[in-house]
Structures are given as C-alpha cells and as structure tokens.
A and B are shown apart, each in its own frame.
Chain A
Amino acid sequence: MLRFLILSFSLLLAACGVTAQQRTMTTSAVILSTVDHAYAEAYKMQSDRAISDAQSYESYEAAMAPYDAVASSIVEAHRLLTVLADRLESGEALVARDLAITCLAIIQETLRQVQAAGVPIPEGLAEGISVLKVLAGLL
C-alpha cells in the first residue's frame, strides 16, 4: 500500500513538472511567433516607405538600421527558444521554474525592443505573459 502511494505521488509530481515545462515552451513559442509575424508585417511596411523615400541603397540601409536591429533581436530570441526546446527534446532535465524565468526574460526583452521601435504589440499576449509569470513563480 505504501509503495503504491509513493509511486502514485511520484508520478503525479513528475506529470506536474512536465506540464509546467510543456506550458512554458508552448506559451513562449506562441508569444514569440505572434510577435515575429506582427513585426515581419511592420518591417515590410517600413521597408516599402524606405524604398520609396531613399535615394540609394546606402540611404535605404541607414533608414532601416533601427528596424534591422530589432529584427536581429527577434531572430536571436527565436534561436534561444529553439535551443531550449532542443535541450528538452534531448532529455535534459531542465527545472520548470528556471525554464519559465529564462523564457520570460527572452520574451520580455523582445517585446520591449519591438515596442520601442513603435510597432504595436498584438492583443492577447498579456495572458500568455501572465502564464509564464505564474510558471516562474513571479505572480
């Protein structure tokens, strides 16, 4: 009986830990993917204007430099989240709370840069960020 109880409790804990990791990775991926697509559209619009206004390729690049910097941040955030997903997939035992804190930091820094570039943040991301904060134990 004792063996059964301990086994059940252990399995329950394991399942909870995995669920937290699952929610962290999925929520982070959804948020970043949403921001990524929104920024891609904003980048195209800005590039349209820059191509119309610029007199040379060099002046086009100068006009787009601030937007390129944010684009690089999004690409880097994408790379980091992919690395984390790969590490989980390879069986590395990442602590759920640490994973949530790391993902939250990546997401928040990306959002900060996108907002600073004047690109509106898509609606509905606040809930996802709240989920990450709960998983990270920050709420």
Chain B
Amino acid sequence: MNPLTLVELLRDILTIATAIMDVLVTRDTKSAKELLGDIPATEIARNAEKIRAAKKFGKL
C-alpha cells in the first residue's frame, strides 16, 4: 500500500472516531453531572443544621 494512502486512511479513521467520541462523551458526562447535582445533599443538610443549631443557641 502506498504510504501516502495509509496516512490518509489513518487520518480518516481518527477524524471519524473523534467525532463519534465527542458526541457520545458529551451526552454521557452531562447525564453524569445531572446525577451528581450542583451541590451535594450532605452539604445542604450540613449548612441547614448549622443554621438551625446556631438559632437555637442564640448565635444567630
């Protein structure tokens, strides 16, 4: 096989594979981030409880 043809072939393969990965990876990570949420539930609970305790003990 002509070396130039082989290089073109590899370039085509890489281009198409990269395009497919871009589409699939973008779709995937968005759903993973949605599952995680912006703020962990634990952090929300911790902040809420600190405020509740502070109010009870007259810190707020």
Contacts from A to B (Cβ < 8 Å): 3, 6-7, 10-11, 13-15, 17-19, 21-22, 25-26, 28-30, 32-33, 36-37, 39-41, 43-44, 47, 50-51, 54, 56-57, 60-61, 64, 68, 71, 74-75, 78, 81-82, 85-86, 88-89, 91, 93
Contact = CB atoms under 8 A, between A and B. Distances in A.
Nearest to B44: A40
B42 A22 contact: no
Contacts of A15: 20, 24
Interface residue SS majority, chain B:
helix
Contacts of B57: 54, 56-57, 60
Interface residue SS majority, chain A:
helix
Q: What's the interface size class on B, roughly? A: 35 or more
B42 A75 contact: yes
A57 B56 CA distance: 8
B16 interface: yes
A33 B46 contact: no
Given A25-B28, A57-B53, A36 B13 contact: no
Interface in B30-49: 30-33, 35-37, 40-46, 48-49
Interface of B: 9, 12-13, 16-17, 20-22, 24-26, 28-33, 35-37, 40-46, 48-49, 52-54, 56-59
A33 B40 CA distance: 8
Contact of B9 (A6, A18, A39): A6
B33 A82 contact: yes
Contacts of A28: 32
8 contacts: A10-B13, A11-B20, A36-B40, A36-B42, A40-B45, A43-B45, A54-B53, A57-B59
A14 B54 CA distance: 54
Contact of B32 (A17, A29, A50, A54): A29
A39 to B, nearest CB: 5
